[in-house]
Structures are given as structure tokens and as C-alpha cells.
Amino acid sequence: MLKVVAFGDNVVDCYADRSVMYPGGNALNFSVFIRRFGGEAAYVGAVGTDDAGRHIRDSLVLEGVDVSRLRECDGNSAFCLIGSHDGEREFIGADLGVSIIAPDAGDLALIGTADAVHTGRSSHVETHLADFAARTRLSFDFAVVRDPERIARLAPLCFLASFSGGDMSQDDAEGFLERTRAAGATWVLVTRGEAGALLAGPSGHFATPAVPTTLVDTLGAGDTFIARTLYGLLRGEAPEQTLLTAAHEAAKTCGHLCAFGHPAPMAVDRSRARSLSEIYGAENDIRA
């Protein structure tokens, strides 16, 4: 069975107007989606010794994700406060808690047993990506990062480099695919929301439209799309079929609240929340 390790960020996504929280975060969501698609998945990250941390761990266990490398650390789990407007998420504030960690020898050994490892910008581990890529195929979610120097440095490590490009025109997205491929990434994915998605790799350029759906919440849709794309590429599916299947799976995610379910009463200290500009402004990469 195909195996993927997801390393890095987790949160409880807190819907402030509903006083309910759901497990989430790019890397954590990725592990659950890979498992649901039929693969074997392990999640490596850190949660606090609080109700939110216990809920994250319990949800992963229920989904069949390997949590043998999940740390439980003194302190609070990461959370994100979310509002919504017409189905689109609005981030009110967040706290990283104990969630940002560096890989240790055991983590790297686990990564070496997998068909691929996934992490992303939100996990703040860019200085460790070469260690990941030396052991298996690397999937990296750049999200909205488009800095040419950063892409040039990281793209050669990537089997799959993914970007959020909802603001890009078709021509801009096509050019971006070409430049990132030229920088060294094997496959490049640009998701464009209701405009669909583009994928480029050794066998050419491919596109898919978005799949119509009743929009409830977009949270987790991008993670769904990336996870299904990686799963399909690792299985050797035709890229056209992989993109179309990913679009259908992302549409399903848009049809319900949060990424993959498991609601619980909200249990976080909202006074710890900071703006996302504060959190990402420093780009706190973990080096130790």
C-alpha cells in the first residue's frame, strides 16, 4: 500500500460564531485525506496537553492515521479563529502553540520508509527540506509564496510543488508553471478555486475545471486537491484523471464545514490569538 508521511502544522479550526472546533492544518489534513483515498498515512507533529490536543489525537486515531511520532508537549495546542462570509473563510486570528517542531532522527527514519513526505509553508521547516528530499519524494505546499529566490532554492527538492493561485489569470498561471518547472520541480500544481487547476510535469501540461458544488465552506479544499493529486501521481495515474478526481474530491470538501469533520466544543484561550500577518511576517523557520 502506498505510504505518505505528513510533517508539520496542525490546529483546531475554531468557528467563533458556532463555538465549535475541528482538527485541521495543512499537514494534518493531508494525512487524513491520504488515508481516506486508500493510502497508508502517518502524521508527525506536536499538540499540547489540553482538550484541543487530545481531540486532535483522537480524531487522527479514528481516521486510521499512524500517530506513533505525534508529540504531546506541555503547553497549548495551536488554534485558528475563523469567521465566514458567503462560504468563504475569514481568518480572525491564530496561535501556533507548541505545533512548530523540527524533525528528529526518528522522524527522518520514518520519512525514509515512505513513498513521499508532505509539508508546507505553514510548518516552518524549510531548512530541513533537503533532509526530507534525500530520503523520499517531497511534496511542498508553497501556498501563496511566489518569491522567485525562494522558489529557485526549494523547487529542485520537490517532486510536487503546489501553489494557491486563485488570483492568477490563465496565462499567468501557465507562465508560473513553466518557471517553477524550469527551476527544478518535477511536478507543479496551481489551484485556482472556481477557475479549476493546472498541473505541469514531465509528460506535459494539464488542466481541469472546478466541479460544481453546493458551497458550505472552502476550508480544506486546497489540501484535498493537493493530497489527491500527489496520491494519483504516486500511483501512476494519467494526469488528466488525477486532476479530475482531485477536483471532485475538493468539491466534496466544500460541501461541509471544515476539512474532514470531527467537531467538538471550542476549548481554546482566545486571548492568545495573533493576526496571521504577525505569525507569517517572521516566517519562524525551525533550525534546531
**Per-residue pLDDT, 280:** 67
**Is residue 283's pLDDT more than 60?**
no
**Is residue 40's pLDDT more than 70?**
yes
**Per-residue pLDDT, 211:** 95
**Per-residue pLDDT, 284:** 47
For residues 17 and 89, what is the distance between their CA atoms, to the nearest angstrom?
A: 12
**Is residue 282's pLDDT more than 70?**
no
Topology (CATH level 3) of domain 3-275: UDP-N-acetylmuramoyl-L-alanine:D-glutamate ligase (3.40.1190)
Model confidence pLDDT, tens digit, residues 61-83: 999 999 999 999 999 999 999 87
**Is residue 270's pLDDT more than 90?**
no
**Per-residue pLDDT, 89:** 63
Model confidence pLDDT, tens digit, residues 122-140: 999 999 999 999 999 999 9
Q: How far are the Cα atoms of 111, 112, 143, 224 from residue 248, in angstroms, in the given order?
A: 29, 31, 20, 10
Model confidence pLDDT, tens digit, residues 236-250: 999 999 999 999 999
**Per-residue pLDDT, 26:** 97
Max mean pLDDT among 76-90, 115-129, 210-224 falls in 115-129
CB-CB contact of 77 with 40 (8 Å): no
* In the chain, domain spans: 3-275
